């Protein structure tokens, strides 16, 4: 009997790089993306079609997409913050687009300068337009557990937003622990409620490791039937509009944990350490997840 497959969606080229002091050129970002593809990452979020004045690290998104038009062995997705961004992404050849409404009023104001109601309306309109264009769609619910401005989030709000996104055409809902404030108990409870409402097949998890609980939170989600997760090479990340949002769950940690638990990811685990080193050289900063020291010893021993 083959091992059960868990889909890892790499978000380093977007979420990981958007808040770094060193800004990589589109060519360098394409080099990183191609390395990740060679390591058999099944999905990669490669860019955000946001105003580069707001997020300079995401400048050159059309160039990124142009360099990936021939890729057919990896799900290439992009983030779009508004209808203008969606139109630019569609023109650039995007096949999978993601919207990111936050679950609280203040976070939406800080993130995209819209109210909660405006953000939901905008996201729904984008999803409808994407469906008309036969594009695949994903909808995040940011700060699904806790907001840096308003504190803990009522799960009913999360389920309501998810329901509206699905009704507007979202193919997938990603619950995001944007500031890493969730714990295995709260993760299990929210996913249990969402699975009961929507089924587990269209749900995914996005965890930050601020409080060192990202891997434990993945295990809690796995127990509820979730089989898809975002992660970020080297543990890069942190939202520029969310105080206290430390790095994402490191891809190398997630892939190795799942491998040791008996799940299948199809990822070349040895190549992940090499990609972390590439990112360190490009960003002039030490990187790596909690397993990095052990992984480096394992690589040298082979």
Q: Mind listing the pLDDT tens digit for each residue in 77-112?
A: 999 999 999 999 999 999 999 999 999 999 999 888
239 is catalytic: yes
How buried is 301 (Cβ within 10 angstroms: 0-12 exposed, 13-18 middle, 19+ buried)? Answer: exposed
Residue 185 placed within a domain: yes
Would you state the pLDDT for residue 301? 58
Residue 26 placed within a domain: yes
- pTM for the predicted model, two decimal places: 0.94
Of the residues 74, 124, 194, 239, only one is catalytic, namely 239
CATH of the domain at 244: 3.20.20.70
Task: Answer for the pair 37, 31: CB distance below 8 angstroms, yes or no.
Answer: no
Residue 297 placed within a domain: yes
Residues 7-20: what's their mean pLDDT? Answer: 94
Number of domains within the chain: 1
Residues 128-143: what's their mean pLDDT? Answer: 98
Q: Helix 116-132 and helix 83-91: axis angle, to 10°?
A: 30
Residue 116 placed within a domain: yes
Check pLDDT > 80 for residue 59.
Answer: yes
Residue 2 placed within a domain: no
Which domain range does residue 263 map to?
Answer: 7-301
Residue 70 placed within a domain: yes
| Helix H or strand E encompassing 152 | strand 151-152
Q: Mind listing the pLDDT tens digit for each residue in 155-182?
A: 999 999 999 999 999 999 999 999 999 9
């Amino acid at each position: 009997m083959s091992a059960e497959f868990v889909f890892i969606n790499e978000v380093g080229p977007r979420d990981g790089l958007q808040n770094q002091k060193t800004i990589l050129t589109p060519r360098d970002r394409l080099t990183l993306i191609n390395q990740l593809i060679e390591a058999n990452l099944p999905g990669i979020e490669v860019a955000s079609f946001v105003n580069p004045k707001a997020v300079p690290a995401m400048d050159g998104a059309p160039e990124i997409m142009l360099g990936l038009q021939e890729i057919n062995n990896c799900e290439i997705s992009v983030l779009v913050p508004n209808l203008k961004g969606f139109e630019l992404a569609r023109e650039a050849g995007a096949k999978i687009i993601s919207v990111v409404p936050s679950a609280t009023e203040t976070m939406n104001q800080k993130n995209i300068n819209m109210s909660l109601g405006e953000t939901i309306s905008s996201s729904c309109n984008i999803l409808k337009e994407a469906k008309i264009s036969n594009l695949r769609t994903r909808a995040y619910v940011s700060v699904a557990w806790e907001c840096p401005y308003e504190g803990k989030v009522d799960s009913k709000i999360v389920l309501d937003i998810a329901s509206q996104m699905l009704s507007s055409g979202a193919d997938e809902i990603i619950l995001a622990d944007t500031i890493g404030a969730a714990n295995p108990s709260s993760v299990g409870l929210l996913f249990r409620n969402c699975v009961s409402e929507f089924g587990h097949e269209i749900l995914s998890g996005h965890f930050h490791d601020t409080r060192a609980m990202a891997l434990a939170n993945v295990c809690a989600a796995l127990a509820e039937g979730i089989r898809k997760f975002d992660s970020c090479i080297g543990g890069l990340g942190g939202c520029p509009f969310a105080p206290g949002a430390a790095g994402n769950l490191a891809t190398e940690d997630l892939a190795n944990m799942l491998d040791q638990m008996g799940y299948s990811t199809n990822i070349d685990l040895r190549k992940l350490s090499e990609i972390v080193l590439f990112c360190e050289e490009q960003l002039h900063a030490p990187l790596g997840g909690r397993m990095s020291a052990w992984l480096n010893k394992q690589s040298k021993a082979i």
